[in-house]
Amino acid sequence: MYTIGEFAALGRVSVRMLRHYDAIGLLVPADVDARTGYRRYAPQQLAPLLRIAQLRDLGCGLDDAAEVLRSADERDALRRVLERRRADLLASLAVESARLARVDEQLRDLEEGEHKMTTVTYRRLEPVTVYAASGVAPGGENIPATIDSILPPLQAALEASGVDYREPGIFWYDAIEGTEDLRVWVSWIAGGDPVPGDGWEVVALPGVERAAVSEYRGEMAGIGEAWHRFMQDVVGDGATFAGPCREVYLQADGPQSTWVTELQQPVASGSR
């Protein structure tokens, strides 16, 4: 039998972590002295400890370790856990690669000694009635996934109903009061006499007296950076934001590299 200190050293984990594993039932000592409370571990417990340490080193959670250790088929459970972790890492690599590209672009801008200005114009936005559906992006994050959960069901419902709806698609975003969440709206222009239906709402987007407007051309992966640059330029013009922003998808067929999105940000009427 090993003392807790010896067992921790063999598994290259801390004594504190072993106590935590005991508390959550992940790796319970083989023996606990009733008088002193000292924990002792059996030699056969070293294999599960090393498995936990291995999975933690790979970035897997304790829930993953529990899934493996408690499975009747440890090999199969391990494969499932590792495949999930691999998928997570690939997704993270894609996100970080895109972020690295944006960092490189910013560095190039600094070396060139100037900010690549977007073309910003200011104009009135006319009122428009749309068929819309919405979802919540917790913490205002992972907006593309939220859009992906809204858009296909909305389009399918509109197609099945036979109502008249038209391009361009219009997306907008509302802060949810009292939270850090964001309500994401996806819509198409309603034709004819708009009617509410199962799977959508009829929303009358009001006209905006003055809005900053710019076009973004390219992949959706870059639209966040486009918004950032756009907002920087609008702020540089001394404008004051006055309402939720909108995205109007002027061209959204074919490869995303050919897409054209109009960025719209309402501003106070006295701006510029």
Domain ranges across the chain: 2-78, 121-266
Residue-level pLDDT, tens digit, the chain, 272 residues: 889 999 999 888 899 999 999 999 999 999 998 888 899 999 999 999 999 999 999 999 999 999 999 999 999 999 999 999 999 999 899 888 888 887 887 787 677 655 444 689 999 999 999 999 999 999 888 888 899 999 999 999 999 999 999 999 999 998 888 888 999 999 999 998 999 999 999 999 999 999 999 999 888 878 887 888 888 888 888 999 988 899 999 998 888 889 999 999 999 975 55
Note the CATH number of domain 2-78.
1.10.1660.10
Note the CATH number of domain 121-266.
3.20.80.10
Which of 92, 93, 67 lies closest to 81 in space, CA to CA? 67
Query: Global pTM?
Result: 0.61
* Identical fold between 2-78 and 121-266: no
Cβ(62)–Cβ(24) below 8 Å: yes
Cβ(189)–Cβ(129) below 8 Å: yes
